[in-house]
Amino acid sequence: MNERTRLSILIAFALLAVASVFLATRIRFSFDFEQFFPQGDEDLEFFRQFIDEFETDDNFLLVAVERREGVFEEHFLRQFHELTLRARELPQVEESQSLTKLSYPLKTPFGITSLPVIHLDEPGRYAADRERILADERFVYNLISPDATALVVFLKTKPSIQLRESEELIDALDRLMGEYDFETYHYLGRAYFQKELVAMQKREVMVSALVSGILVTLVMFFIFRRPWGIAIAILSVGLGMLLFLGFLGASGRELNAISALYPVLMIIVGTSDVVHIMTKYIDELRRGVNRRTAIQVTIREIGLATLLTSLTTAIGFATLLTSRVQPIRDFGINSAVGVLIAYVTVIFFTTAMLTLFRTDQLIKLGRSQAFWERSMDRAYRFTRRFPRGIALGGILLLAVCALGISRVTTNYSIISNLPSGKKITQDFRYFERQFAGFRPMEIAVFAQGDYRADDYEIVREIDRVEQFLKSQSGVRAINSISTAYKSIHRMNHGNRAEAYVMPESEAKFEQYRRLAQRMPQQDLKVLVSDDGRKARITSRILDIGADSIKAVGERIDRWIATQTDSTVVDFRRTGTGLIIDKNSEYVRESLLFGLGLAILIVSLLMALLFRNGRMLLVALIPNLFPLLLGGALLGFMGVELEAGVSIVFAVIFGIAVDDTIHFLSKFKLARNKGLGIEEALRTTFLETGKAIVLTSIILFFGFLVMLFSIHPPSVNIGLLISLTLCSALLSDLLFLPVLIRKLMK
């Protein structure tokens, strides 16, 4: 590399770095449950049509205010009532409701009047109010906890509220709550999720970048022990990371829940490339060749192998494009581009910088080289002496993997994706325990023939479905058009709890319907469509896991199919929760398809590189073990296989195959020089083994950085990838030599 070429490369990268700094400021974070909807699913299309007719099922924010001695205390109730009234003025809030604003309709000889649910100004009636409220299924788990230690303010928010609006609302609500002396309070709702989970994402990206940077600095210090060697390595890795951030900013990409992996991936992939290139360049200089020749040999021998490893890693990530979940697809394409950016940075910028320095300026030579040579020679001799033991170990590992894989579950829950130790997680658990939880579960109702959704026959069927829902464990906060008629029936029978049932005759029902039309508080618009042909049953179900909820849903579907009159009305389950949970059905499908595609493409690359069918088999077999071990670890660790965790296998295959390519590329070069199989294997261990082990150590500790995460799936991803990449190293060093000796005689 001449002086002019080197200078041009360095200037070009300097300009790109400056541009990337500017573009990186345009990166935005986002979180929305709709991101995780499986695109192209028929249930998703139905749900979108459904909310067009009615409204979204997550446009609420719940504020639970707790008093452990009980909420029926005058000072507490007055403060709570004032909070309810003032909450209506919060930004993005369309309506506020609580028990202190509600009243019971009461029929008198002079017409319909109302009585307050809670007699705020008459403390002497609190005991009777408490008893009546806790016996009313309309309120328990909705607006009051079953032990009467908490009340809820229900805030109806703007539909499809966005991040900036959510932050504005929660900040205003925090200020309002600060004006009262409530013991404790809890939030639950879309706006709260958006604000807190985006804050978590920002924290995750910063922490993972910082810890990874410190890790790489330490690794480079122990490898090179010279300021210039350390500086070139860190500068190369940091520049690749900066250019990647510039790409994200320029392409308008938004960072989501799994974005914390980006800094880790870019840093460790860049570090792996740097170590391979620098190790080879230094080895050539130690042989006595000049810098120009050394860099040419390095690019020719290691540059091609590194290009192939970058391509295979990028292919592994690109297979995530087979997912139906948009954040997973985004992660796949972003990571694939990032890997290629890291390669281009190393192959041009790093090599240009290396030619400026002598060997003793880049690395401290000493006993460490002899240590690596002894260690790699022992590893080579071990594979030669114990081939049967290695093969038996592989068979035993397969048996263990089969056992672990049989335990894999897709029983995904929302709580497993919330940040550890944070208030949002504590609040979520509180609402699961004391109220109806968060997961909406809707049932769409379609009147058949000439019926309308508010006809007696339809409402009677709706009420029967409601009663069945109440029998299902975990299903709470059920509401429908039948609620209005049961409330009127109760009103006409002295507000007795046992009178909260459907009217016994169609004539009585028609009387109630006329009455409901004259009662403005009986607002049925959110429960019946404008054309009167469709209705909805709303409810929420506890976070018992996607598979468990699916089982509940199937029981509901079977009951509806056999116990309702389909000539009168048709029912169909829908809702945000159902759509998100369907991801578990697609994860396995897209995972197997994506991995199969990756293996096929990598096989074609291997075939082009080695032009030998047996070598292709040698290359693929060791890389199946890390994938199987990853699946087994999911089962043994009890980690649910959900959309976020599914990226583990793309990362494992994409990165694990890298060391295989480096090993076999060196073996092929040695064979091309006329060496026999054993001599070529020993040379490969001595010259490439060190770089493979070092990069694997970097990968292991690099992904362990995710243990600092407060996001449980990120912790699981980091641990799974670290452990399986260790198995990939052992698989390459143990199985590759045995397979070569067996198949390449």
Ranges 86-95, 292-301, 395-404, 726-735: which has the least confidence: 292-301
Task: With beta carbons less than 8 A apart as the criterion, state whether 545 and 413 touch.
Answer: yes
- According to the model, what pLDDT value does residue 416 have? 84
Q: Is 548 a residue whose pLDDT tops 90?
A: no
Do 238 and 184 share a structural domain? Answer: no
The answer to whether residue 399 is domain-embedded is yes
Q: Indicate the helix (H) or strand (E) that contains 96.
A: strand 93-97
Q: Please write the tens of the pLDDT for every residue from 216-270.
A: 788 778 777 788 888 888 899 889 999 999 999 898 877 776 777 788 888 878 8
Q: Is 725 a residue whose pLDDT tops 80?
A: yes
The answer to whether residue 207 is domain-embedded is no
Q: Please write the tens of the pLDDT for every residue from 651-663.
A: 777 777 888 888 8
Q: What CATH number corresponds to the domain at position 93?
A: 3.30.70
Residue whose C-alpha is closest to residue 413's, from 310, 576, 547: 547
Quickly tell me which residue has 């200037």 as its tokens.
Answer: 11
- According to the model, what pLDDT value does residue 706 have? 84
Do 567 and 589 share a structural domain? Answer: no
Q: What CATH number corresponds to the domain at position 675?
A: 1.20.1640.10
- According to the model, what pLDDT value does residue 522 have? 45
- According to the model, what pLDDT value does residue 475 have? 92
Residue whose C-alpha is closest to residue 473's, from 444, 430, 442, 436: 436
Distance, in Å, from the CA atom of 30 to the CA atom of 15, rounded to the nearest integer, reads 29
The answer to whether residue 40 is domain-embedded is no
Distance, in Å, from the CA atom of 6 to the CA atom of 624, rounded to the nearest integer, reads 41
The answer to whether residue 215 is domain-embedded is no
Do 479 and 557 share a structural domain? Answer: yes
- According to the model, what pLDDT value does residue 230 have? 83
Distance, in Å, from the CA atom of 730 to the CA atom of 728, rounded to the nearest integer, reads 5
Distance, in Å, from the CA atom of 668 to the CA atom of 681, rounded to the nearest integer, reads 10
Q: Indicate the helix (H) or strand (E) that contains 12.
A: helix 3-24
- According to the model, what pLDDT value does residue 83 have? 96
Contacts of 136 (CB under 8 A, 6+ apart): 497, 500
Number of domains into which the chain is organized: 3
Q: Which residue has the higher pLDDT, 608 or 687?
A: 687
Do 646 and 573 share a structural domain? Answer: no
Residue 96: HSE in the Cβ half-sphere, 13 Å Cα cutoff: 21
Q: Is 688 a residue whose pLDDT tops 90?
A: no
Distance, in Å, from the CA atom of 248 to the CA atom of 229, rounded to the nearest integer, reads 29
The CA distances from residue 340 to 268, 280, 675, in Å, are 13, 20, 33
Helix axes 677-704, 647-672, angle to 10 degrees: 150
The answer to whether residue 412 is domain-embedded is no
Do 575 and 679 share a structural domain? Answer: no
> What are the tokens at 57?
């099922």
Do 308 and 386 share a structural domain? Answer: yes
Task: With beta carbons less than 8 A apart as the criterion, state whether 438 and 210 touch.
Answer: no
Do 596 and 557 share a structural domain? Answer: no
- According to the model, what pLDDT value does residue 584 have? 66
The answer to whether residue 420 is domain-embedded is no
Quickly tell me which residue has 């966005």 as its tokens.
Answer: 162
Query: Strand 184-189 relative to strand 60-66: parallel, antiparallel, unpaired?
Result: antiparallel
Per-residue pLDDT, averaged over 159-185, amounts to 92
Q: Please write the tens of the pLDDT for every residue from 147-164.
A: 999 999 999 998 888 888
Task: With beta carbons less than 8 A apart as the criterion, state whether 225 and 368 touch.
Answer: no
- According to the model, what pLDDT value does residue 134 have? 93
> What are the tokens at 58?
């997550």
* CA dihedral for 215, 216, 218, 223, sign (positive or negative): positive
The answer to whether residue 537 is domain-embedded is yes
The answer to whether residue 283 is domain-embedded is yes
Task: With beta carbons less than 8 A apart as the criterion, state whether 546 and 581 touch.
Answer: yes
Other CB atoms within 10 A of residue 488 CB: 23
283: amino acid identity, one letter = D
How sure is the predictor about 530, in pLDDT bands with cuts at 50, 70 and 90?
confident
The last residue of a domain, from among 514, 549, 580: 580
- According to the model, what pLDDT value does residue 521 have? 47
Distance, in Å, from the CA atom of 6 to the CA atom of 13, rounded to the nearest integer, reads 11
Q: Is 110 a residue whose pLDDT tops 60?
A: no
Do 260 and 183 share a structural domain? Answer: no
The last residue of a domain, from among 580, 606, 629: 580
Distance, in Å, from the CA atom of 152 to the CA atom of 7, rounded to the nearest integer, reads 67
- How many degrees, rounded to 5, is the angle at CA 308 between CA 242 and CA 670? 130
- Mean predicted lDDT score pLDDT of the chain: 85
**If you write DSSP's letter for every residue of 213-249 in order, what string do you get?**
HHHHHHHHHHHH-SHHHHHHHHHHHHHHHHHHHHHHH
726: amino acid identity, one letter = C
Per-residue pLDDT, averaged over 548-559, amounts to 91
Per-residue pLDDT, averaged over 474-494, amounts to 87
Distance, in Å, from the CA atom of 646 to the CA atom of 342, rounded to the nearest integer, reads 24
Q: Please write the tens of the pLDDT for every residue from 55-78.
A: 777 889 999 999 999 999 999 999
Do 716 and 572 share a structural domain? Answer: no
- 3-class SS string, 271-334: HHHHHHHHHHHHHHHHCCCCHHHHHHHHHHHHHHHHHHHHHHHHHHHHHHHHCCCHHHHHHHHH
Residues paired with residue 29 on neighbouring β-strands, in sequence order: 255
Do 554 and 592 share a structural domain? Answer: no
Per-residue pLDDT, averaged over 97-113, amounts to 76
Q: Domain span at residue 249?
A: 3-30+225-353+369-406+582-743
Residues paired with residue 28 on neighbouring β-strands, in sequence order: 254
**If you write DSSP's letter for every residue of 45-62 in order, what string do you get?**
HHHHHHHHHS--TT-EEE
The last residue of a domain, from among 580, 611, 628: 580
Do 100 and 15 share a structural domain? Answer: no
**Backbone phi and psi for residue 376, each to the nearest 5 degrees, phi listed first:** -70, -35
Other CB atoms within 10 A of residue 399 CB: 9
Classified as helix, coil or strand, 638 is coil
Do 388 and 304 share a structural domain? Answer: yes
Q: Please write the tens of the pLDDT for every residue from 288-340.
A: 788 888 888 888 878 877 888 888 888 878 878 877 777 888 888 898 999 99
